[in-house]
Structure 1
């Protein structure tokens, strides 16, 4: 595998993970958080590819297999599931 491709996957995975964490931490609402999870998914996918296509980082690869699943749940929850309507107080 090309060293430059592996380096690009590693750098993208790290940088996009930071961007996604920032978006989620800002708590800008469900839609923004959902898109943060989409970015997390691409980050995890890049790091899985980097780990398994290269000769190092297998632990990071397996960690990101798990994170990919967790981030998929976040995408589903924030972008595909309709939030329950809040009940109004009748007092």
Structure 2
């Protein structure tokens, strides 16, 4: 029994770590905590069979933490996602404006005026007083977030679709927007206009 647990424990822990780190939604993250629980139980068995009291105590605590993660992601957060998805689906079939969740903006594909993918939205900045989107930050390049570049696209250059963002910019005009410094985004998108170019010049470049 302990030999089998000794093999399952590290494999389950590694798989669970990848599932939770990938951030692929509430269900995947929640099941990642289920796999984490399997791993912590197996580590506890290994600890009991080898007399490692510290290993047992640590993994009993981690098992409790994993139960919290299961409740958080497979319970509450999954219900939030399902509720948002339900409203989104119903709005497409009803005689009302189509809806999408604000959290759904992150991860949306951004496309240029030719319909080609230029990157993915990572965040939308919203004005407190009006609730209007000021600009959207779009990530391009990199692998798994490594060496990617972030650019801010003003609201007047974005058409929100239910599944993607259509930019009123050509790829060349988008690339002309200066990359955002890491951890230092502008208060106003006009701060990030290319030097020597006005908003009107960007519009011309996009056509």
Query: Do both share a fold (TM > 0.5)?
Result: yes
Larger Rg: 2
Calculate the aligned-residue CA RMSD, in Å.
1.9
Aligned partner (choices 61, 80, 83) of residue 80 of structure 2? 83
- Could you tell me how far apart the structure 2 residues matched to 1:25 and 1:45 are? 21
Aligned partner (choices 59, 68, 74) of residue 64 of structure 1? 59
- The number of residue pairs the alignment matches comes to 85
After TM superposition, list the pairs within 5 Å mapping 1:1-91 onto structure 2: 5-52=1-48, 54-81=49-76, 82-83=79-80, 90-91=131-132
**CA-CA distance at 1:36 after TM superposition:** 0.3
TM-score, normalised relative to structure 1: 0.81
Structure number with higher strand proportion: 2
Structure 1 segments unaligned to the other structure (5+ residues):
none
Structure 2 segments unaligned to the other structure (5+ residues):
85-100, 103-125, 133-207
**CA-CA distance at 1:83 after TM superposition:** 2.5
TM-score, normalised relative to structure 2: 0.38
Structure number with higher helix proportion: 1
Once superposed, which parts of structure 1, at least 4 consecutive aligned residues long, lie more than 6 Å away? none
Greater relative contact order structure (CA < 8 Å, 6+ sep): 1
SS of the residue 2:19 aligns to: helix
- Could you tell me how far apart the structure 1 residues matched to 2:50 and 2:35 are? 25
- Could you tell me how far apart the structure 2 residues matched to 1:73 and 1:10 are? 24
